[in-house]
Each structure stands twice: as C-alpha cells, then as structure tokens.
C-alpha cells in the first residue's frame, strides 16, 4: 500500500524497498544496503518527487 501511495505522489518505485532482516543477520543487512545503494545510484537524481523544505 505504501508503495502505491508513493508512486501516486510521483516517487519512482525503485526508490522504495522493504526488507525483513533479523538483528542476527548482519551480513544480510550489509548486502541489502549495498545492493539498494547501488540501485539508487543507478537511478540518478530524483526528478518526479519534490521535497519541500
């Protein structure tokens, strides 16, 4: 549901990710964060969803 709301508001779907990782899964956490960081870098700057300060 959250992903659909973000898409509706203009946010690209590739910029949102939910993972269930146990506190004992440090290696998995590191892998997921590294992979997601690369995915975001490949997408480039967010152009559709503007954050108002």
Q: Is the pLDDT of residue 16 over 80?
A: yes
Within a domain: 48: no
For residue 6 the two structure tokens come to 């973000």
Residue 24 lies in a domain: yes
Asked if the model's pLDDT at residue 1 lies above 70, the reply is yes
Q: Is residue 13 part of a domain?
A: yes
Asked if the structure places residue 6 within a domain, the reply is: yes
Q: Which of 25, 46, 15 is nearest to 6 (CA)?
A: 15
Q: Which residue has the higher pLDDT, 37 or 3?
A: 37
* pTM beyond 0.95, yes or no: no
pLDDT at 48 over 80: no
Q: Is residue 27 part of a domain?
A: yes
In this prediction, residue 49 carries a pLDDT of: 60
Q: Give the number of domains in the chain.
A: 1
What's the Cα-to-Cα distance from 1 to each of 4, 6, 27, 50, rounded to whole Å?
5, 9, 28, 20
Task: Give the pLDDT of residue 9.
Answer: 79
Query: Which pLDDT score, from 0 to 100, does residue 52 have?
Result: 65
With respect to residue 36, please indicate whether it lies within any of the assigned structural domains.
yes
The answer as to whether 23 is a domain residue is yes
- In a domain, residue 34? The reply is yes
For residue 25, the enclosing domain spans 2-43
């Amino acid at each position: 549901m959250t992903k659909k709301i973000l898409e509706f508001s203009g946010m690209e779907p590739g910029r949102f990710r939910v993972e269930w990782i146990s506190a004992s899964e440090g290696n998995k956490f590191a892998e997921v964060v590294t992979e997601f960081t690369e995915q975001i870098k490949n997408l480039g700057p967010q152009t559709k969803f503007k954050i108002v300060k």
